[in-house]
């Protein structure tokens, strides 16, 4: 949250309008603007990816949360929000925490990020966000146990009339 003028590798130090993420409100503005931009590109058919932009938006939401609750570690909050947003859209609940934690070098945050990932998966199970998204059959069985506990053996009709199969 320090100004860009303090960073030696940033040039130019100000953007077109001089906007910097210096407080939690600016972090929320960045996160929401990023989500709106992603929605335009996905619905418009843009061929670029949306996974890393989700990570960026989640990191901004996590940074805003750390401004409200300063006791939460910044890497954990940013990675958890990034995982939750990505899993809510892509349904990749195990790969996302692994990728995020190892890319950021924060392997110790794996349990918290995995928890955020699983909460997001179960909270958004039947909410398709992308029109080409397919439902996950394993989630149907896990959430609503459609399993028949007393299965009946059904014999196809062509086998019912075959005398050679009768005992």
Distance separating alpha carbons of residues 82 and 60, to the nearest angstrom: 9
Domain ranges, ordered by start, for the chain: 4-132
Position 130 pLDDT exceeds 70: no
pLDDT of 136 above 80:
no
Tell which wins on pLDDT, 165 or 31: 31
Q: Please write the tens of the pLDDT for every residue from 22-58.
A: 889 999 999 999 999 988 887 787 777 788 899 999 9
pTM value?
0.71
Question: Mutual orientation of helices 24-43 and 51-68 as an angle, nearest 10°?
Answer: 160
Is the preceding omega at residue 12 within 30 degrees of 0, hence cis? yes
Q: Is the pLDDT of residue 83 over 90?
A: yes
Look at residue 138 and tell me whether its pLDDT is greater than 80: no
């Amino acid at each position: 949250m320090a100004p860009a003028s303090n960073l030696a590798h940033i040039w130019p130090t100000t953007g077109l309008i001089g906007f910097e993420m210096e407080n939690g409100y600016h972090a929320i503005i960045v996160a929401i603007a990023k989500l709106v931009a992603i929605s335009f590109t996905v619905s418009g058919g843009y061929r670029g990816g949306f996974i890393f932009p989700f990570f960026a938006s989640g990191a901004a939401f996590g940074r805003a949360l750390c401004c409200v609750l300063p006791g939460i570690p910044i890497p954990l909050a940013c990675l958890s929000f990034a995982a939750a947003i990505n899993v809510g859209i892509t349904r990749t609940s195990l790969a996302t925490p692994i990728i995020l934690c190892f890319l950021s070098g924060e392997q110790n945050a794996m349990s918290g990020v995995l928890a955020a990932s699983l909460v997001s998966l179960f909270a958004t199970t039947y909410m398709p966000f992308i029109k080409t998204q397919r439902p996950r059959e394993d989630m149907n069985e896990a959430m609503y146990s459609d399993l028949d506990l007393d299965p009946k053996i059904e014999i196809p009709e062509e086998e019912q009339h075959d005398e050679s199969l009768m005992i």
